[in-house]
Chains A and B, each alone.
Chain A
Amino acid sequence: MFVVIRVILGVLFVVSGMEKVISPAENFQYVIEGYAIFPPVLAHAASVVFPWIELFTGLFIALGLWLQPALMGMLLISTTFILVVGQAIIRRLPLENCGCFGNLIHLPLQGVIVLDSTIFALTLLLLLNTRETSKFGLDTFYDRAVGSGKTRKGQKT
């Protein structure tokens, strides 16, 4: 079950990040500016950098590569989403939709808070069960390889 959750969360971030990196950054900059937190220069920088972070975090989680840091990254990202969307709801900013999935899915802010909180809770669950979560992942493959290498060395000496 943990592996399935891991892959679903990873793919979700990959799809969301991919849509944003492929689309011109100005579209996501407009979304960020809508939350009225950053000045335009920072919003532009975030619109260029953040989608790549989202994409690679999702990819590493789906593949089970560098799983622990990637899960911690996802936890940080979902926390940021909750805070940013939360302040928009409190300030009653006139946002028609969150813009967090680019042009793929349009969700009202209240729906996004629920989704982000679910992602946060599931990521925390995965982090607390890293051993189960990393099954069939590339980390496990490499750990096994290192482990067997050490054993062979141990047998020789």
Chain B
Amino acid sequence: MKMSKRLLTGVIMSSVVVIVLIVKFVLFGQQAPVAAESFRTKGKPGAKIQVLEYTDFQCPACAKAAGMIDEVYKKYPDKVYLELKYFPLPRHNFARQASAYVECAGAQGQFWPLHNVLFKTQESWAKMSSVDEYFSQLAVSLGVNGEKLAACVKDSAVEAVINKDVESGKASGVNSTPTFFVNGKMVVGGPSFVREVEALIGEGK
């Protein structure tokens, strides 16, 4: 017996929906990532709003978001706890190197200072043909030991840290930057992050 055209349409559509839901569950069904304690964090660990940010140092939207995050911290210094994770996008040729330098500066206590400087100078270094010397000079000017830094950025353990972050981001459905998980809820882009934080703080009033 032939299936009617409308019935066939319904069967096709429901099968696709079921397949998509299964694939979605398999790929991203795990619990949303949460912020942990490390030198890549800022704010009070027990703060009401826990944020995990996946960033790319060569992404212009991430540079803008960094300014927005600073504003949020000025406004609500005790209410937000943020952990940063690296998510260098393949199309940004220096993003991975930038992550390595920031990670290594972090090992010497200068994570946030180099993070801030790299975002502020992003437009200039993104156009350079090579960035190692520039990144190194910036880090040294912040008080980082140049020799230790040079050895650190070549260390495969640093590469492993970045890869781990990228993999954890992909497993949570991250494909662009900046992506935030605000109390476990995914939001993409600086303006969405600010809206979400404002909403959560507004709820608590």
Contact = CB atoms under 8 A, between A and B. Distances in A.
B20 A22 contact: yes
A30 B189 contact: yes
A106 B174 CA distance: 16
A103 B176 contact: yes
Contact of B195 (A24, A40, A55): A40
A102 interface: yes
Contact of B9 (A55, A65, A94): A65
| Range of interface residues on B (Cβ < 8 Å) | 20 to 34
B197 interface: no
A24 B186 contact: yes
Contacts of B13: 56
Contacts of B201: none
Nearest to B3: A142
A59 B16 contact: yes
Contact of B20 (A18, A24, A40): A18
For B91, B175, B187, the residue with the greatest tally of chain A CB atoms inside 10 Å of its CB is B175
For B5, B187, B195, the residue with the greatest tally of chain A CB atoms inside 10 Å of its CB is B5
Interface in A94-109: 94, 96-97, 99, 102-103, 106
Interface in B170-205: 173-176, 179, 186-189, 191-192, 195
A27 B28 CA distance: 13
B164 interface: no
Contact of A59 (B12, B174, B186, B195): B12
A19 to B, nearest CB: 9
Contacts, number: 63
Given A65-B8, A96-B60, A138-B8, A27 B188 contact: yes
A22 B24 contact: yes
A71 B175 CA distance: 30
Given A27-B175, A56-B13, A63-B12, 13 more contacts: A18-B20, A22-B24, A26-B187, A26-B188, A26-B192, A30-B176, A30-B188, A33-B192, A40-B195, A65-B12, A99-B176, A103-B176, A142-B5
Interface of A: 18, 21-24, 26-27, 29-31, 33-34, 40, 55-56, 59, 63, 65-66, 94, 96-97, 99, 102-103, 106, 138, 142, 145
- Please name the 9 residue pairs, one residue from A and one from B, whose CB atoms are nearest each other, closest first: A30-B188, A24-B173, A103-B175, A30-B189, A26-B188, A26-B186, A142-B5, A21-B20, A27-B175
